[in-house]
Amino acid sequence: MIEVRGLQKSYQDVPVLREIGFTVQRGDFFGIIGPNGSGKSTLLKMLSGVIAVDAGEITLAGKPLGRYTRKELARVLAVLEQEGLPPVGFRVREVLEMGRFPYQNWLGEEKTDVGPLIDEIMQLLRLTPLADRTLDQLSGGEKQRVALGKALVQKPQVLLLDEPTTYLDIGYQIQLMDIVRTWQKTTQVTVVAVLHDLNLASLYCDRILMLHKGEQIGVGTPQDMLQSDRIESVYGTRPIVMEHPVHRLPQIMLQSGS
């Protein structure tokens, strides 16, 4: 679904990404991890077409990213931002309807009635009771669900998540990630997520790309990537890695310095 080859990027001659290359299969849940400043947000911005690549190529659904028009791209790829939505006066349902923008003609019309689709997504995200509330009346967790709803209404083949759980409590984190995974399993959408919580990455990702100072450390399953030696060399702290008693996936425990 996504092919990345020989990707390079510099900001004012300072390289932030070097020789990045990986492939994401259709229907995969693909994680990107790495410490602050490792280039993971830059990589995501290039995948979403917001900033241009210096060298290398990104292919999306068999077509180079640069050959998509903005609206074409928005029909294939949706992005859930870290910051969430600003507290403006739009109602929840109106925001979800905005997700149809890439499908509308210049009069704002569409060939098919999108009412049922929006109802279904509101149901899935438990937004139905909030439909007539305005964004400035919602909590952070609710707003992030609305933002996800808007992305899902775009009916993308690829969903990019940029540290979507940063400002959320653990309950909302799991809720959000569960919703994404349910949607992914039922629609075969490809998910690429930048995550800074390694335990969440392990629980949800099929494969993980680890970045360090703009270089690709490796791509593999959570078991391959989350090993204490590797984490120590990248993050500069040595955690204890244990197997999750229920999910049989690696989970890390931090150790304090003393």
Partner 1 sequence: MKKQWLLWGGAGSLVLLVSVVVSISLGAASLPLSQVWLILLHQLPGMSEWIPVTWPESSEQIVMKVRFPRVVLAILIGACLSLAGAGFQGVLRNPLADPFTMGVASGAAVGAAFLILFGLQFALLGEWSTPVVAFLTGLVSLWIVLALAKTQGKLQTETLILSGVVIQAFLGSLVSFMVSLSDQTVNEIVFWLMGSLSFRGWAFTYVLVPYLLIGMLVLLSYARSLNLFALGERQAAHLGVHVDKTKFVILLVSTLLTAAAVSIAGVIGFVGLVVPHLVRLMVGPDYRILLPMATICGGVYVLWADTLARMLLAPTEIPLGVVTAFLGAPFFAYLLKQKKQIGRR
Query: 87 and 135 in contact (C-beta within 8 Å)?
Result: yes
- Shortest CB 83 distance to partner 1, Å: 7
- Shortest CB 223 distance to partner 1, Å: 33
Residue environment code for 210-242, b if the CB has 16+ CB neighbours within 10 A, otherwise e: bbbebebbebeebeebbebebbeebbeeebebe
- Shortest CB 51 distance to partner 1, Å: 11
* CA distance linking residue 61 with residue 65, whole number of Å: 9
Q: By C-beta, is 89 or 236 nearer to partner 1?
A: 89
Helices (H), ranges, the chain? 40-47, 70-76, 92-98, 115-124, 140-153, 170-187, 198-204, 222-225, 228-235
Residue 133 binding partner 1, by CB under 8 A: no
Q: Which one of 34-42, 94-102, 216-224, 248-256 is the stretch in contact with partner 1 (CB under 8 A)?
A: 94-102
* CA distance linking residue 158 with residue 58, whole number of Å: 14
Interacting residue with partner 1 among 89, 236, 245, 257 (CB under 8 A): 89
* CA distance linking residue 169 with residue 146, whole number of Å: 16
Interacting residue with partner 1 among 85, 191, 200, 252 (CB under 8 A): 85
Residue 101 binding partner 1, by CB under 8 A: yes
Q: By C-beta, is 74 or 211 nearer to partner 1?
A: 74
Binding residues for partner 1, rule: CB under 8 A, are 48, 50, 70-75, 78-79, 81, 83, 85-90, 94-95, 98-99, 101-102, 104, 106, 108, 154
